[in-house]
């Protein structure tokens, strides 16, 4: 099992670095091309949110195993403003930045598990997982 690897998010260049890290790790873990694209795209959305709303943060990627299932876990963390209303933020089309409001709900659709922990003025941690089809 490859070790956890992290990418620091500070600029839009780091978004590309984070999603490349996620894709490479997914490939290493045996995910197929379509799942690699799903995982890389979800990470791109979450990393961009960190950059846009918190300024800085990190994306950590690691292989996981549970009941003989293999998968990938991605933790996106920031110490930004937090999300005031998670239910609203998860709605398709909801945005506070004239975006498309697609990042969070889209990333959730692309992954198998998706958990948001957030506290206003403390930060946001989003943990998501995808399992390999066996």
Ligand X SMILES: Nc1ncnc2c1ncn2[C@@H]1O[C@H](COP(=O)(O)OP(=O)(O)OP(=O)(O)O)[C@@H](O)[C@H]1O
Interacting residues with another protein (CB under 8 A): 12-13, 15-16, 19-20, 23, 33-34, 36-38, 40-41, 44-45, 48, 92, 99-100, 102-103, 105-107, 109-110
What DSSP element (H or E) covers 21?
A: helix 12-28
Task: Please name which of 84, 97, 107, 114 lies closest in space to residue 15, comparing C-alpha atoms.
Answer: 107
- Cβ closer to Mg ion: 103 or 123? 103
How far is it, in rounded angstroms, from Cα 99 to Cα 73? 26
| Number of neighbours of residue 37 by Cβ within 10 angstroms | 15
Closest approach, Cβ 54 to ligand X, in A, equals 5
* Paired strand residues for 7: 59
What DSSP element (H or E) covers 118?
A: strand 113-119
* Residue 108 binding target from ligand X, Mg ion, another protein, none, CB below 5 to 8 Å by type: none
Residue with tokens 């260049």: 13
- Cβ closer to Mg ion: 49 or 124? 49
- Cβ closer to ligand X: 66 or 97? 97
* Candidate residues 103, 107, 110, 124; the one interacting with Mg ion per rule CB under 5 A: 103
Answer whether 18's CB lies under 8 Å from 5's CB: no
Residue with tokens 């996981």: 64
| Per-position x/- string for 61-100, each x denoting binding to Mg ion as judged by CB under 5 A, each - no binding | ----------------------------------------
Q: Which residues bind ligand X (CB under 6 A)?
A: 45, 49-50, 53-54, 78, 80-83, 89, 94-97, 99-105, 124
């Amino acid at each position: 099992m490859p070790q956890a690897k992290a990418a620091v998010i500070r600029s839009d260049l780091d978004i590309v670095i984070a999603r490349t890290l996620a894709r490479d790790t997914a490939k290493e873990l045996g995910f197929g091309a379509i799942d690699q694209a799903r995982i890389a795209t979800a990470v791109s959305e979450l990393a961009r949110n960190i950059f846009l709303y918190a300024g800085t943060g990190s994306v950590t990627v690691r292989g996981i195993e549970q009941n003989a299932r293999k998968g990938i876990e991605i933790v996106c963390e920031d110490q930004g403003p937090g999300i005031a209303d998670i239910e609203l933020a998860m709605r398709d089309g909801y945005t506070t930045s004239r975006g498309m409001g697609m990042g969070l709900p889209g990333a959730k659709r692309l992954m198998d598990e998706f958990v948001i922990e957030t506290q206003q003025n403390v930060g946001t941690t989003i943990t998501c997982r995808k399992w390999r089809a066996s």
